[in-house]
Structure 1
Amino acid sequence: MNFDALIIGGGAAGLSCALVLGSAKDKVYAKDKRIGIVTHQKTSHLQNALFNNVLGLRPGTLGKDILQGGKQQLKDLYPHVNQIDREKVTAISKDIETDKLFYIKTNKNLYTSKIVVIAVGYTNLITVKGLEHYIEPHPRANPEKNRIWLKNSNHLVEENLYVAGTLAGWRSQFSIACGSGSHVATDILTLWNDGKHTKVHDKITV
């Protein structure tokens, strides 16, 4: 399957990125774009999270409920975003001839995409081959925890390869991870919109 943008990771950053990209479906520059997300969530820190200090979330909200609710929200609102479930990405590589297309290998399939967003956790147990030379110690985590990041500039690792969330070098805070994923989505939408800065808002109409 071929994508224009493929997000790897179904945690806070990945789902936030997918929701914003999906919400641009009626825009001329995005309406024909093929968007996918590999919704692997087993290693997400949200699995054991409890939220009391997040604006807009009812105190006592569980991270595991957000994970499942987020996938359902994406499915209900933006079904054109292809959710790839029960697959784990094992390797990422670039087309040698064009240097413009990414190959994404999972434990079950092979996909291609023009843009890739890496939004998995920041532990040093990352097993995606092809990312090794970008990995460095995390700049905002305690050294003894052996956290990592993918070295990037404003979420961009290299041309058309983005990283979002804690793996982008941000602290492990839910609202920060969500914002990071949304930031990447608006950068991609801006790219699709010929470099014209863009964002997507819903408004109440009277």
Structure 2
Amino acid sequence: MFCEHFVQKVEKKDDKFIIYANDKFDWAKDKKYLILDDNKSDLNVGKYFNVAGVDSGINGVDLLLKMKKQLEIYKDVELKDEKATKIENLGEYFKVITENSTYEASIVVLATGLHKFDIECEGVNVKDNIFVPKPNNIYLENSNNLISKNLYVAGLASGVPTMFSCASGDGAKVACDIFKLWSGKIAVVHDVKA
């Protein structure tokens, strides 16, 4: 099996760094990424002391703000404060319906946390998460993060342990799975050497 490691193109503009990973790879050209955030992340209620690369003692609200600020450097990523209410699989693409808008996507990643899943979506099976020390938590049934073709689940919703690093790493793993799908080989995008 061939594994290719990719390095992103970085440019400094107006004292900000802009990331151009899509311009480097034919398989990534013209890809756009939309993140829908209903501002109800499980991170909001925590205070974090033991996460590599994160300021010890940071509260979840501030951590999420830092993460959202970091997204601003990715020119192909858009973050919207919206809640998905329904996802329809139309074969070649998905229709994602929010409270205010409708979007089309070739791939959908569900990262909805472990407390509930209230998006109408055919084929998604909600299971009791018996691996969490507190009752009344869920995960979405999946096989290696895949629910069905081009419908993924990541983070706590996939059933990983309720630790920030586990959920974050699970999301990165799903991204690598999608890169592999697009490129036809194992693909990992690394940061640029200093």
Q: Provide TM-score, normalisation by structure 2.
A: 0.84
RCO higher in structure (CA 8 A, sep ≥6): 1
Q: Does 1:197 align with 2:186?
A: yes
1:3-18 equivalent positions in 2, closer than 5 A: none
Identity fraction in percent:
35
Distance change >3 Å, CA 178–CA 112, structure 1 → 2:
same
Higher deviation after alignment, 132-141 or 115-124: 132-141
Distance change >3 Å, CA 177–CA 131, structure 1 → 2:
farther
1:10 matched to which residue of 2? Answer: none
2:85 matched to which residue of 1? Answer: 90
From 75, 78, 90, the counterpart of 2:74: 78
Q: What residue identity is the alignment partner of 2:80? A: I
Q: CA deviation at 1:186?
A: 0.8
1:35 matched to which residue of 2? Answer: 33
Q: Which runs of 5+ in 1 are unaligned?
A: 1-21
2:153 matched to which residue of 1? Answer: 163
Aligned Cα root-mean-square deviation (Å): 1.7
Q: Distance in 1 between matches of 2:122 and 2:21?
A: 29
CA-to-aligned-CA distance 1:109-158 (integer Å, 9 cap, x gap): 1111110000011113x21012574111114124x621111110111111
Q: Does 1:101 align with 2:93?
A: yes
- For these two proteins, the number of residue pairs brought into alignment is 175
Q: Distance in 1 between matches of 2:70 and 2:192?
A: 18
The structure richer in helix per residue is 1
Q: Distance in 1 between matches of 2:49 and 2:33?
A: 32
Structure 1 or 2, whichever has the larger Rg, is: 2
Q: Distance in 2 between matches of 1:49 and 1:151?
A: 26
2:121 matched to which residue of 1? Answer: 130
The structure richer in strand per residue is 2
Q: What residue identity is the alignment partner of 2:95? A: Y
Q: Which runs of 5+ in 2 are unaligned?
A: 1-18
Moved over 3 A (4+): none
- CA contact 1:23–1:200 (8 Å) conserved in 2: no
